[in-house]
């Protein structure tokens, strides 16, 4: 589902206003320049999941509330059947499916992610981001080149990598095919 960027930006701006944060304060809290933060809030560019997650943490809301405007209401558990989940199109051609969008009071955000392979991914500079907490990525198929705080690893099907996601990190599918992995972003 491609959520309207301007609707998400409006929700972010409204929550920032409710908490009486200036754009400068908010930019500092999500570790961005004021200009980059303002571009997101003014719907001038699409948001990476890491930005939405960071904003949700600052605002004390579930990330799903920023995306949909709805508050998760399920208590106890949520079952997401194979091939389902809340589709989120947020990062240049990466495909995300949130696997528990309706579960309230989550301590982590579970995603099924497909990173597309593009020839040359083995050599390009990786686009990095950061967000509070920790992340764990379990590779289901393909191979993923991962950079964390300037160090690189390649993880393959069956491998798992866990890291401090407040460190700059980025990834790209390598090895000639797309990479599918299970990712969980956990709050600290």
- Kindly tell me the number of DSSP H helices and DSSP E strands found in the chain: 5, 9
Please give the pLDDT value at position 157.
98
Query: Is the torsion defined by CA of 18, 20, 73, 37 positive or negative?
Result: positive
Stated as kind and residue range, the H or E segment containing 14 is helix 5-18
Q: Are 154 and 143 in contact (CB under 8 A)?
A: yes
Please give the pLDDT value at position 90.
58
Q: What is the domain partition of the chain in residue ranges?
A: 5-68, 107-186
Q: Are 159 and 139 in contact (CB under 8 A)?
A: yes
Please give the pLDDT value at position 1.
41
- The fold adopted by the segment(s) 5-68 is 434 Repressor (Amino-terminal Domain) (1.10.260)
List, for the chain, all residue ranges whose pLDDT scores fall below the cut of 70. 1-3, 89-92
Q: Do the domains 5-68 and 107-186 sit in the same CATH topology, yes or no?
A: no
Please give the pLDDT value at position 167.
94
User: Architecture of domain 107-186 in CATH?
Assistant: Sandwich (2.60)
Determine how many CB atoms are found less than 10 A away from the CB of residue 84.
Answer: 11
Stated as kind and residue range, the H or E segment containing 169 is strand 169-174
Please give the pLDDT value at position 3.
62
């Amino acid at each position: 589902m491609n959520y309207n960027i301007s609707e998400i930006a409006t929700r972010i701006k409204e929550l920032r206003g409710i908490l009486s944060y200036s754009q400068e304060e908010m930019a500092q809290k999500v570790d961005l320049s004021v200009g980059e933060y303002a571009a997101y809030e003014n719907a001038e560019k699409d948001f990476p999941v890491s930005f939405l997650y960071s904003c949700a943490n600052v605002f004390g809301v579930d990330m799903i509330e920023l995306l949909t405007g709805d508050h998760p209401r399920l208590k106890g558990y949520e079952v997401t059947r194979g091939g389902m989940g809340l589709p989120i199109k947020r990062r240049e051609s990466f495909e995300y499916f949130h696997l528990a969008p309706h579960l309230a009071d989550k301590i982590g955000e579970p995603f099924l992610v497909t990173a597309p392979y593009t020839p040359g991914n083995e050599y390009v500079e990786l686009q990095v981001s950061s967000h509070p907490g920790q992340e764990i990525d379990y590779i289901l198929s393909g191979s993923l080149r991962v950079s964390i705080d300037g160090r690189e690893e390649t993880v393959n099907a069956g491998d798992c990598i866990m890291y401090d996601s407040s460190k700059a990190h980025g990834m790209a599918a390598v090895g000639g095919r797309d990479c599918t992995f299970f990712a969980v972003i956990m709050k600290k």
